[in-house]
Structure formats: C-alpha cells, structure tokens
Homo-oligomer: A and B are copies of this chain.
Amino acid sequence: MRAARPGDGPALVRTTRALAEHHGSLDGFAVTAVDFERDLFCDSPIIGALIAEDNGDVAGSVVWHRSYSTNRGHEIMYLEDIVVLPEHRRKGVARALMQATARLAIARGYSKIFWMVVDWNEGGKKLYQSLGADIDPEHRLCTIDGDALKALAA
C-alpha cells in the first residue's frame, strides 16, 4: 500500500476504468493518465490516491478528494473511488485500502470520510459495515449536468 506517485497515471486509468465498466458507465469515461498526473501532482491538489500492490502488480486503488463539513467547520474526506481489480479479489485488498484511507484521513486531521455505494452492491455494503461505516437509508444522490445544467444557468 502506498501513496500514488508520478508515473501512476496509467495505473489509475486502468483501475478507474475497471470500476466504470463494472458500473456500466464506460460511455462517459474520459479520464486520461495526463489528467491524473496533472491533478494529483499540482500545487494544492484537491485529490489524492493510494495504490494497492500484490506481488509488485497494481491490485487496486483509492482516489479521494478534500471535502468540507459545514456542520463541523473543517475539511473532511470524500472517497470518490475504491477499486480492486478482478484478478486480485478475495485477498483483503479492499479492506487494506479502506484502512490506509482511514489512516490518511486521521493523519490529515479529518474527522470523517464519506462515500457512495450502489444499493445492489451487497459485498461492498457488507464490507463497509464490517469496518464500522454507517449506510444511511435516507439520502439520495442528485446530479445535474449536460444540457440541463446549461439550461438552469441560462
């Protein structure tokens, strides 16, 4: 387990692409290695990434970003993606990634991590609950983009 470093862009495209494939959202998948390298290693980055390795191969990743709690008045962490590549499953990689994420959050002084899971991901929900996470039944995810966003701004 290690923080992403320059040169990890292609590995992060591989892992996030595997996730997009799993979610059936490859159509909108446009991120490139250059994007990751630019946004991870700029001044004052808002994102960060962790890479899990298995015998020297990239086995999975986490991409997180800085978030903010208006209740608490300080930064917290949003976990954007956690991915374990299919050939590295059932070896505790997801748990190790979550633990490394929690350590990083605490090292950065964050009191909370939040993220989304799709309701049909029973394995994911079970893992998160086993790690002490709360899965809230009440909140719904809203998005606006594309033409709808342009129309609202017009």
B67-A39 in contact (CB<8A): no
Tell me whether A143 and B113 are in contact in the complex, defined as CB-CB below 8 angstroms, given that A46-B68, A70-B16 are known contacts.
yes
Minimum C-beta distance from A40 to chain B (A): 10
Please report which residues of chain A, range 1-32, place their CB below 8 angstroms from some CB of chain B when the two chains form the complex: 12, 16, 19-20, 25, 28-32
Stretch of A51-59, A74-82, A86-94 that contacts chain B: A74-82
Mask: chain A, 85-107; 1 = CB below 8 Å from B; 0 = not:
00000000000001100110110
Q: Are A115 and B142 in contact (CB under 8 A)?
A: yes
**Contact for A106 among B68, B111, B150, CB less than 8 A:** B150
A-B contact pairs, 15 of them (CB 8 A): A29-B71, A31-B71, A36-B73, A43-B44, A46-B68, A68-B80, A70-B80, A102-B149, A106-B150, A111-B146, A131-B148, A132-B149, A133-B148, A134-B143, A137-B140
